[in-house]
Amino acid sequence: MKARVEVTLKTGVLDPQGKAIQHALGALGFDGVDGVRQGKLIELDLAETDPEKATAALRDMCEKLLANTVIENYKIEVG
């Protein structure tokens, strides 16, 4: 089963990489970009075929490794 986990910084957490991207876009002539937030996308191939069990396992993976839940949110997609 294919799964995706999208990890993003929580609102209010400073994003220096986003600021660097915003600055670089301006330097390349892309004006009008007022803000950039960056995150990460993790794609997984799971042996599990039950979507509920897969989601539970992914939630556990996020809580233990894939996301720093103090400063990051995550979104799980299964299927």
45: β partners = 2
Domain 2-78: CATH architecture, name and number where available = 2-Layer Sandwich (3.30)
- pLDDT truncated to tens, each residue of the chain (79 aa)? 999 999 999 999 999 999 999 999 999 999 999 999 999 999 999 999 999 999 999 999 999 999 999 999 999 999 9
Question: With contact defined as beta carbons under 8 Å apart, do 75 and 10 qualify?
Answer: no
DSSP state of 46: -
pLDDT at 78: 98
Q: What is the pTM of this model?
A: 0.88
pLDDT for the residue numbered 35: 95
Q: Note the pLDDT of residue 25.
A: 97
**Do β-strands 2-9 and 39-45 pair in parallel, antiparallel, or remain unpaired?**
antiparallel
Domain spans of the chain, in order of start: 2-78
